[in-house]
Amino acid sequence: MAHAAGELTPNQAQVLGHLRQANAPLTAYQLLGRMQSDRGAVAPPTVYRALKGLEDAGLIRRIETLRAWAPVAAISPGVVVICDDCGTVRSMQAPDVVESLHLRLAAEGFAEARQTIEVHGRCGGCAEGQR
């Protein structure tokens, strides 16, 4: 399993490169199309294996509501904010929100396996008409 950029497989490096070049999250089939444009026939499992390895290494994050992936500098508990106008995705620290949710779930006896909080809206630049 890859754990650092230097240990990536060629497929993982190619997928990560496409994600970093994109201005918005990409779906697996968008990545498949880009990889096929780069080098011809590529099967969907190739993309999904690369995505899984990159996600396990903490280099990308799945954006659940978009069914797409985006690169991340660091995955940490918080909120993923997604601009519906320009497509930017970023993580925002929200320790009170995350802790409150964790405590509430624990009080209900719910053992969380993973947690994703995503908020859609407009970023500051789009809200001000700059984009």
Residue 104 belongs to a domain with what CATH number? 3.30.1490.190
Tell whether the torsion through CA atoms of 14, 131, 120 and 73 is positive or negative: positive
Question: What is the per-residue pLDDT across 80-100, written as a single tens digit (0 to 9) for each?
Answer: 888 998 888 888 888 888 888
Q: pLDDT band for 2, please (50, 70, 90 cuts).
A: very low
Q: Same structural domain for residues 56 and 93? A: no
Cα-based distances in Å from 35 to 41, 51, 52: 8, 13, 16
| pTM attached to this predicted model | 0.72
- Residue 115's contacts (CB-CB under 8 Å, 6 or more residues apart) are 77, 98, 101, 102
Residues 15 and 66 in one domain: yes
Domain count along the chain: 2
Reported as a single tens digit per residue, the pLDDT across 15-74 is 999 999 987 899 999 999 999 998 888 899 999 999 999 999 888 989 988 999 988 755
Final residue belonging to a domain, choices 53, 71, 89: 71
Residues 84 and 38 in one domain: no
Helix and strand element counts for the chain (H, E)? 5, 5
Residues 55 and 14 in one domain: yes
Domain that holds residue 89: 79-127
